[in-house]
């Protein structure tokens, strides 16, 4: 049996574990909003129609920031439709998802929900069918204190104080031919630059995200980023990245190595951004907003779209996530942490029902999907400084990525609390002994070993009837002696190893 080795040393710091890495995404798609976060008349709904059970689970999940209102939806959205008296709001065709949008839930409801959920709002503006003026109008409505037509309109609508939204996305996936208002890199780059310049005149305190590629497989990948950043580098704070990993083909070995692709994606976007910075003599390092990522059985989407007409809030891509999917999500979180020096925001897509950690039944309960657990535990324990780890371990073969390390790890050191947390994924089909060298952090003792293992029942899912079938379990506490510790990682598992210097 192979034994893996890992050395932890606080000298190898990457950067702070930014709380914005634990973001989520609420889009007007399927039942994410209607029947998800918002359901008037539900037994758990408050007077505004916000589902309290979903709010409770959102807080438990540890979400820090939520991107809204899309996604593809935003590229045809008129923000004015979602403010003011609900009875006066228009019903519209949503071209992105072929549905009827009632606009019963809009900006004001979202901001109320965000405050209740204790999350930071991240707004997207429509640069598909609209432009500079509409983006500035939305920003003025949301952030200006008062004394203007739009800020006073917000106050008339019941929001006396400005919302103070600090994060703004300049459109969504406009490199994609599927996007309403699809543009070339030059067309988008110029529009984004002009919009960014104007928005920062309205509110200089905001941070802006330019659209990067929709995924690493796009034919324009990297050239899109280079061109867009040639236009926008001095005006924006982030470039976005989106990726989803599809287990539909049954190639489990490759799916378990999905984080290898995410790692390459981040590295390549950083290299492209730094190339533009060098060309323009920019000293500021641009960060990535990885504001859409998840496991997604994408082949099911077209079936959902093709089998119905124009309806309100249909069930779309309500994937049931397996134990293996949860291990993959845990590994993707490890990758995001490992790049904490250059990834400043990350949003798992989406929060409720639509490829989501939280599922609901309309009129019924809400429950945690398998992927809820690695997100919640990482958000809870990844506090402090991210440390670089270089595990020594065997490889295994995959069809998509070739030889891949069987072990993936990252460590986070909370010096103030006197705690070290090691996140580790065993991608292999056999249990993996792991020897840790902790001599760089004297005085540590084992506190907890949590594991979410998929080896025994890889296709297990959580359902309304069995909401806790896939859940982390506690293994024997890691025992350390003279700064060394040995643990056993179950086959196909995501693990949290916690240590403390406290008595």
Mind telling me the catalytic residues?
173, 292
Q: CB of 204 within 8 A of CB of 237? A: no
E strands in 365-468 = 366-368, 385-387, 395-398, 402-405, 407-414, 419-426, 432-437, 445-453
Q: CB of 102 within 8 A of CB of 94? A: no
Q: CB of 444 within 8 A of CB of 9? A: no
Task: Tell how far CA 23 is from the center of its chain.
Answer: 5
**First-to-last CA distance in the chain?**
35
Q: What is the CB neighbour count within 10 angstroms for residue 486?
A: 13
Q: CB of 319 within 8 A of CB of 100? A: no
Q: CB of 28 within 8 A of CB of 101? A: yes
Distance CA 420, CA 499 (A): 5
Task: Output the CA–CA distances (angstroms, integers) from residue 203 to 69, 198, 322, 375, 403, in the order listed.
Answer: 20, 9, 44, 33, 49
Nearest in space to 476 (alpha carbons), one of 440, 433, 442, 447 = 447
Nearest in space to 373 (alpha carbons), one of 433, 462, 434, 458 = 462
The secondary structure of 227-255 as a DSSP string is HHHHHHTTT-SEEEEEEEE--TT--HHHH
Omega before 69 within 30 of 0, i.e. cis: yes
Burial class (CB in 10 A: 0-12, 13-18, 19+), 38: buried
Q: CB of 16 within 8 A of CB of 405? A: no
Distance CA 69, CA 55 (A): 17
Nearest in space to 135 (alpha carbons), one of 191, 84, 181 = 191
Distance CA 297, CA 427 (A): 20
Distance CA 97, CA 103 (A): 15
List all residues 6 or more positions away from 184 whose beta carbon is below 8 Å from its beta carbon: none
Q: What letter does residue 352 receive in the DSSP assignment?
A: B
Query: Please, which residues bridge with residue 240 across strands?
Result: 289
- SS3 category, 474: strand
Distance CA 477, CA 475 (A): 6
Question: Dihedral, CA atoms, 298, 300, 301, 305, nearest 10 degrees?
Answer: 170
């Amino acid at each position: 049996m192979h034994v893996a080795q890992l050395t932890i040393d606080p000298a190898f710091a990457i950067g702070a574990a930014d709380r914005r890495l634990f973001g989520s995404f609420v889009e007007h798609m399927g039942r994410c909003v209607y029947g998800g976060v918002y359901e008037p008349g539900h037994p758990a709904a408050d007077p505004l129609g916000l589902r309290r059970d979903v709010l409770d689970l959102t807080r438990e999940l540890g979400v820090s920031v939520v991107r809204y209102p899309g996604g593809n939806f935003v590229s045809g959205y008129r923000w004015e439709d979602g403010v003011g008296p609900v009875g006066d709001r228009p019903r519209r065709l949503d071209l992105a998802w072929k549905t009827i949008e009632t606009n019963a839930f809009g900006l004001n409801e979202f901001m109320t929900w965000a405050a209740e959920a204790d999350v930071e709002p991240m707004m997207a503006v429509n640069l598909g069918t609209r432009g500079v003026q509409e983006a500035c109008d939305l920003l003025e409505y949301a952030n200006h204190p008062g004394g203007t037509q739009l800020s006073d309109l917000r106050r008339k609508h019941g929001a006396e104080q400005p919302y103070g939204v600090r994060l703004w996305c300049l459109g969504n996936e406009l490199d994609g031919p599927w996007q309403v208002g699809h543009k070339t890199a030059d067309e988008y780059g110029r529009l984004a630059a002009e919009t960014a310049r104007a928005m920062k005149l309205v509110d200089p305190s905001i941070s802006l995200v330019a659209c990067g590629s929709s995924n690493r497989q796009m034919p324009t990948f990297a050239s899109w980023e280079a061109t867009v950043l040639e236009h926008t580098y001095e005006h924006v704070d982030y470039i976005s990245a989106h990726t989803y990993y599809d287990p539909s083909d049954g190639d489990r070995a490759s799916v378990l190595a999905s984080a290898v692709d995410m790692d390459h994606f981040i590295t390549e976007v950083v290299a492209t951004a730094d190339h533009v910075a060098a060309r323009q003599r920019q000293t500021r390092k641009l960060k990535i907003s990885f504001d859409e990522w998840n496991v997604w059985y994408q082949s099911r989407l077209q079936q959902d779209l093709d089998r119905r007409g124009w309806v309100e809030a249909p069930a779309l891509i309500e994937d049931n996530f397996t134990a293996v999917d949860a291990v993959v999500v845990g590994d993707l979180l490890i990758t995001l942490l490992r790049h904490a020096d250059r990834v400043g925001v990350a949003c798992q897509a989406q929060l409720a029902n639509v490829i989501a950690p939280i599922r609901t039944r309309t009129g019924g309960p809400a429950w945690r999907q398998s992927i809820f657990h690695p997100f919640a535990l990482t958000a809870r324990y990844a506090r402090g400084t991210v440390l670089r780890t270089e595990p020594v371990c065997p490889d295994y073969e995959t069809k998509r990525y070739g030889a891949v390390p069987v072990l993936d790890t990252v460590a986070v050191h909370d010096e103030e609390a006197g705690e070290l947390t090691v996140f580790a994924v065993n991608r292999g089909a056999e249990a993996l002994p792991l020897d840790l060298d902790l001599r760089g952090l004297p005085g540590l003792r084992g506190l907890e070993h949590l594991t979410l293992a998929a080896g025994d029942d890889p296709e297990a899912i959580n359902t309304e009837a069995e909401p806790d079938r896939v859940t982390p379990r506690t293994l024997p506490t890691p025992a350390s002696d003279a700064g060394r510790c040995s643990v056993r990682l179950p086959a196909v598992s995501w693990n949290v190893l916690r240590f403390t210097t406290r008595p």
